[in-house]
Chain A
Amino acid sequence: MLQLTSPLPLIEIRPDPPALPRLVEAWTYRELLMFLAWRDVAVRYKQTALGVSWAVLQPVLTMAIFTLIFGRLAAVPTDGVPYPLFAFCGLLPWQLFSFALGASANSLVANERLVTKVYFPRIVIPLASVIAGLVDFAIAFVLLMGLMYYYAVPISATILALPVLVLAAVAAATAVGILLSAVNVRFRDVKHALPFLTQIWMLATPIAYSTSLFPERWRPLFALNPMVGVVEGFRWSLLGHTEATGTVFLVSGAILLLGMAFSVSYFLRVERSFADLI
């Protein structure tokens, strides 16, 4: 059906097409983004016996182990919060981050056929994997609400900041995920390095323990890991208490923005070679 009313779009093909228009173009592919995210969600728990309960089981089991080891045996200080709630509040954004990171880092290679057979801005693929991670997060979040009710922790106005913090967790996963997904096209080492990286990163994030373990003056350095800001932000927003200072949030936020800018520009620079290299 020829659209006679609107002028036909002009597509220019040339070596090294400019990056910025491609980023703008990605926005017009948001429907595809949602379709791919939906596919990832629909497929994830296919042919599993426990299905979507995995979204609950993973954080709950981790919380139970943490409670036993860090809460009981090591008796880590939690700034007065019941340990299970304290840990779960940290695990929630962490699992969102680590899941989204893992899925997006492998996304381009996993969708090789799309990359080599059809055109669309490639950034849609890792972004869709990140978005798909939000579904598990939402399910686990309901559980957290139940846990807060059980421990009679009141919900305060600070919960209004939560969407921003979720966005920050997603942004952190996106920044690292799209970078690694692009590197993975060329160097499959990413697949092997990723579990290790995630593990170390988790230990560097105050999930099982509190930032209060760190001396005050080292905290901004600690916050170079943007997930420190995210996790402490979650505790502040939901439990109304954090040992982290404004500086921690500023440092984490700044790193996040810088990382995002770097990743996106790197991705745009190399994306046109994916089909030849993958």
Chain B
Amino acid sequence: MLAIQAQGLGKRYRIGQRAGYRTLREALTSPFARLRRSVEDPAAFLWALDDVSFDVRPGEVVGIIGRNGAGKSTLLKILSRITDPTRGRAELRGRVASLLEVGTGFHPELTGRENIYLSGAVLGMRRNEIVRHFDEIVAFSEVERFLDTQVKYYSSGMFTRLAFAVAAHLQPEILIVDEVLAVGDASFQRKCLNKMEDVGREGRTVLFVSHNMPAVTRLCPRTVLLDKGRVLKDGPSHDVVSAYLSSGLGTTAAREWQEPAERPGNEIVRLVSVRVVQDGETKAAIDIRRPVAIQVEFEVLESGCLLVPNLHFMTEEGVHAFVALEIDSPWHKKPRRAGRHLSTAWVPGNFLSEGTYVLGVSISTLDPVRVHFHERDAVALQVIDSFDGDSARGDYGGPFPGVVRPMLRWDASPPPETTP
């Protein structure tokens, strides 16, 4: 027996003028305009979801990925019964709970305590279930001291923690989770991910939409990739995630500015392209164990300047992990000739941490300091940790913090011989 069986699901939306927010006057005064724009004009409609079919067995944890507008949210809304499909059918076996945002049902004027009850009820918990889990929820949320404070006085972090704590204690057979983990501080995100892993282990069926590729690969053995409302790929997460990342559908591993006028820079130097390369190929999904080359191509327009390319590695949370300056090169302290230059920075294997880095690329003159350009978010790369035991995490499979993950040399000496 299947937990979820979706067959040919399709959802059509009217585009252009949205059907909502129409006023009565408009409907009364323009009946003919409405008729003209009716059924057969395909340009007026968009299939947000088109012929989507898949099966999920009970206890399976399935990731759903795809770029914005691929139909992920529409799919979740249909499976959560928030909206109906235009075509197709689906069957779900078991109680369904969906977490499409943090804090559904919360009311700012009510206290934390009151909101636990309210939000629990809205998400589908029975009153006695809420009573039974109340203490656990409070403990998980870490906001005990503010339980009788109105939620409107909470910091956004406290709000998120309380809201997720309620959601984390839902006990449906099928759990549908949208990108709710994209908020909150890093340590709490970890806690939520761990809780999700527990949920998976309890034999519950989970559908998990996320842009966080490491989380998807770690939590979900299987992933469905959506693109333009269709299922593009469905299979083991490792394959689907790397296919997604290298297809250029996700984060950009390479950027090129074709038009000279669009190239970042000034009258001295302009950026032409940036590339993330591993094993000789442009790649957005990087194996943590092997070196990665960041290739920066730039055009020097005016000879004779000292130019130092530099790379800024930012984590997904916006932490500036480190900066790399080109100092180890033939051009070090030498004026550049006009023309195309290519600088490659080698990031060693077993150095970057798991997750996404967004790279800023800049070229500066150091003395006196002058920044010729600084292209933020130029490219992004996704570091995938291996679970083969030969990376810095060894055989440990749990959360592994840090903005870098170097593998250090350890010296160990045996305990001194004790003489009897």
- Residues of chain A touching chain B, judged by Cβ–Cβ distance below 8 Å, are 1-2, 8-17, 31-32, 35-36, 39, 42-43, 46-47, 113-120, 185-189, 272-273, 275-278
Contacts and interface: CB of A to CB of B under 8 A. Distances in A.
B122 A114 contact: yes
Contact of B118 (A9, A12, A39, A119): A39
23 contacts: A1-B171, A8-B93, A8-B94, A10-B91, A11-B92, A12-B91, A13-B78, A13-B81, A14-B88, A15-B84, A31-B121, A35-B121, A35-B122, A43-B110, A46-B109, A118-B105, A118-B122, A185-B20, A186-B19, A189-B23, A272-B83, A272-B84, A275-B77
A265 B130 CA distance: 33
B20 A186 contact: yes
B19 A277 contact: yes
B81 A39 contact: no
B337 interface: no
Contact of A13 (B19, B85, B107, B127): B85
B31 to A, nearest CB: 15
Contacts of B80: 118-119
A14 B13 contact: no
A45 B92 CA distance: 41
Nearest to A17: B84
B24 to A, nearest CB: 4
Given A1-B171, A186-B22, A188-B23, A13 B90 contact: yes
Interface footprint category on B: 35 or more
Contact of A277 (B20, B79, B81, B126): B20
A210 B154 CA distance: 53
A36 B119 CA distance: 10
Interface string B80-109: 111111111111111110101100110101
A1 to B, nearest CB: 5
B69 interface: no
Contacts of B164: none
Interface of B: prevailing SS: loop
Interface string B5-27: 00001000100000111111101
A3 to B, nearest CB: 8
A42 B110 CA distance: 8
B82 A117 contact: yes
Indicate the member of B9, B20, B124 with the most A CB atoms within 10 Å.
Answer: B20
Contacts of A42: 109-110, 114
A189 B110 contact: no
Nearest to A276: B83
Nearest to A43: B109
B140 interface: no
A67 to B, nearest CB: 36
A277 B339 CA distance: 56
B110 A119 contact: no
Contacts of B203: 2
Given A11-B96, A35-B122, A187-B22, A117 B104 contact: yes
Contact of B21 (A1, A39, A188): A188
Given A8-B94, A277-B20, A13 B79 contact: yes
Nearest to A118: B104
A21 to B, nearest CB: 12
Given A113-B101, A189-B25, A35 B118 contact: yes
A41 to B, nearest CB: 11
Given A2-B203, A11-B91, A12-B91, A276 B19 contact: yes
Contacts of B95: 8-9
B153 to A, nearest CB: 12
Interface string B218-254: 0000000000000000000000000000000000000
Contacts of B118: 35-36, 39
Contacts of B82: 115-119, 275
Given A32-B122, A276-B20, A14 B84 contact: yes
A43 B107 contact: yes
B19 A15 contact: no
A186 B14 CA distance: 14
A275 B83 CA distance: 6
Nearest to B105: A114
Nearest to A13: B90
Nearest to B121: A35
Contacts of B87: 15
B354 interface: no
A182 B8 CA distance: 30
A277 B18 CA distance: 8
Contact of B121 (A32, A116, A117, A185): A32
A71 to B, nearest CB: 39
A142 B93 CA distance: 50
A187 to B, nearest CB: 4
B9 to A, nearest CB: 8
